Amino acid sequence: MHGAVTTDRRLAPLDERHPENRGVLAYLARGGPAHGDSIARPSSVPDAYQGCGCHPDVVERLWDVLGRELPRAARALVFRTPALVHARAGIVLAVGLGTTYALRLSAAALSDPASTALASAHSYRTAGERLDLVPWGPLWRFGAYLTQEPAWLAAAAAEFDA
């Protein structure tokens, strides 16, 4: 399904000042100045599935599975990283992280017994690095390809619909 994201003139806003985005944006910016815009359409690069630092299966999971029920404008590159951003509130809901992905869940999703399979830290064995999502906020977890994840993500997005 690579390339399934088509050119779309719409793009979610990115609320760079919202407290819910502080941790994830600090990580994605990696402490340096952004090269261009902090948010861009997937069509702004030749192949967002292959060329934005994430495994193509992770990008497919984000945009084509987790983001299926979200507006197309939610599919974005945030600091050149595949992400899902709430189409009106500008809150980052999910982001690709190389060979894995992270989700911003609702408190209700975290009370679901199935969510205990989701970790807040991940070790990248080949790079010898560990990423801890705790600084991003208490609702961030690494995805685990669970069938409940699309519903959990939709519930998290609904919190910002009001």
pLDDT confidence of residue 125: 83
pLDDT in tens, 50-92: 999 899 999 999 999 999 999 999 999 999 999 999 999 999 9
* Beta-ladder partners of 40: 77
Mean pLDDT within 36-58: 91
Rg (CA), the chain: 14
CB-based contacts of 144, cutoff 8 Å, min separation 6: 117, 118, 119
CB of 101 closer than 8 Å to CB of 62 = yes
Is pLDDT larger for residue 23 or for residue 34?
A: 23
- List own/partner pairs for 107-112 with CB under 8 A and 24 or more apart: 107/139, 108/155, 109/148, 109/152, 109/155, 109/156, 110/139, 110/141, 112/148, 112/152
Inform me whether the pLDDT recorded for 33 exceeds 70: no
Q: Indicate the pLDDT class of residue 1, thresholds 50, 70 and 90.
A: very low
Q: What is the spatial distance between Cα 154 and Cα 35, in angstroms, rounded to a whole number?
A: 30
pLDDT confidence of residue 34: 52
Q: Indicate the pLDDT class of residue 30, thresholds 50, 70 and 90.
A: confident
pTM score: 0.89
Type of residue numbered 81: T
